[in-house]
Copies of this chain bind each other. A is one copy, B any other.
Amino acid sequence: MAKIQSISGFPEFLPAEQIAFNHAIAVIRKHYERSGAVPIETPAIERSSTLLAKGGDDKEIYGLRRLKADGGDDAKELALHFDLTVPLARYVAQHQRRLIFPFRRYQIQPVWRGERAQAGRYRQFYQCDMDVIGDGSLSLLNDAEMPYVIYQIFRELNIGKFLIRMNNRKILKGFLSGFGLDDGRVQDAINYIDAIEKVGVEKVNANLLNLGISTDAVEEILEFFSQTGSNDEILTFLSQKTGNEVYTTGVSELKQVSMAMKNLGVPEDYFALDLKIARGLDYYTGTIYETKLIDHPNIGSICSGGRYDELTGLFTTRKYPGVGVSIGLTRLLPLLIKAGVIQLPAPTVAPVLITSLQSKHIDSYLSYGALLRAGGINTEIYLEEKKLGAQMKYANKKGFQLVVLAGDDEIEKGVLLVKLMQTGEQIEIPVATMLESISNLLKNKG
């Protein structure tokens, strides 16, 4: 007997969780497509050299090998992708002549990271990415489409109050370089500020002082990043401050993106300009986003992204600036279920079960099932020869809404009994109008 044991870090859902997961994927896909993004998929496997070219961490990447290598092991050059961004860069560079730009694409696939397994960390997890890539240049308005789509998705997923927080890396860089910091120390300072909500102001204060920034300057920096107020207030605050060209460009970009979001109809109370949003990843060059659940701040950012100018830089000399967002659904969904934000659905995709009350009538049961299915109703037919008690137990466990029963009496009269599982009520309907009657019952009871 082969030993069965789950492998740490590789999540596997039971059907109810999988149904909830697939529903979320369908909503994400719908809104990505609603805004015109086309789907692509890249193979799970890339050359290791491709993955490492963009600074992939070789301690995190799963390489391949042949279990039994006859001769050379050609799999040794291959590895599982650890995100969808590097494969996108490779895809764009490889197919640039056959793609249509701006290339507005989404990609929903698992990725793999050989991290040390720990609670909430997965070694296989889904990323749901949308990006727009321009050929040479890309309008700033695309930066407004990303939070617009994210707003649509999370609103439909009904996950409670959330806030899309937005900032611009040019503001951070421009402002910090105004204190005479070189690029390295600017990046260090950004990383410290990025952690401000996690580690607290005291700690960031100390870290900035350690960078050799003067006490006065640190005070000014922390005051800047602690700025609160409405979006208009933040924009006014930023505009009133004089700064270098990078800073001024950042402020202007943030203003334009905010304005475009308003025109796209994203309500003010779902997005906030927040100067301390910094995103650790250094490939972001402009707009950056994070999203948090107001009532569950401990879940952390549920969707992040931003603008990048140099993504394909290692694969092609042509410039392809882009902007994108990513939702890490594998991590998010179990947390939402655990927190009671999302209810676990019944473990069935079919609302209707047709029982096998008397096996001699199985021909009728099969034809009823076929009729309902042809009418677009997901229908299961109970095919085993079990007592009705066992069949009803099955119906209860799976959570069907309607259970159809037909024995000698019903068949003779040309009717069916439909049991409404939530109330226990039984309704007699004519076989001749079965599809209509059951559709109506589902509409009313759904």
Q: Which residues of A contact B (CB under 8 A)?
A: 1-7, 10-15, 18-19, 21-22, 33-50, 53, 58-59, 61-68, 70, 75, 78-80, 90-91, 93-95, 98-100, 102, 104-105, 110, 112, 114, 123-124, 134, 137-139, 141-142, 144-145, 148, 152, 259-260, 263-265, 314-317, 347-350, 353, 362-363, 366-367, 369-370, 373-374, 376, 378-381, 383-385, 394, 397-398
A384 and B44 in contact (CB under 8 A), knowing A95-B14, A98-B14? Answer: no
Task: Give 18 pairs: A residue, B residue, CB < 8 Å, sorted on A.
Answer: A6-B94, A7-B43, A10-B43, A19-B38, A35-B378, A35-B379, A36-B350, A59-B67, A62-B66, A75-B114, A100-B398, A141-B362, A259-B363, A263-B362, A264-B367, A264-B369, A264-B370, A265-B367
Q: In whole angstroms, how far apart are the Cα atoms of A136 and B369 in the complex?
A: 25
Q: Which residue of B lies closest to A117 (CB)?
A: B74
- CB contact between A40 and one of B18, B58, B263, B353 (< 8 Å): that residue: B18
A93 and B7 in contact (CB under 8 A), knowing A100-B347, A264-B367? Answer: no
Taking the closest CB of chain B, its distance from the CB of A324, in whole angstroms, is 15
Q: In whole angstroms, how far apart are the Cα atoms of A240 and B173 in the complex?
A: 87
Q: Which residue of B lies closest to A367 (CB)?
A: B263
Q: Is the interface of A mostly helix, strand, loop or mixed?
A: mixed
Q: Which residue of B lies closest to A376 (CB)?
A: B34
Structural contact, B378 and A12, CB atoms closer than 8 A: no
Structural contact, A137 and B65, CB atoms closer than 8 A: no
Residue numbers in B under 8 Å from A38 (CB-CB): 15, 18-19, 347-349
Taking the closest CB of chain B, its distance from the CB of A54, in whole angstroms, is 8
A18 and B41 in contact (CB under 8 A), knowing A67-B63, A384-B138, A384-B139? Answer: yes
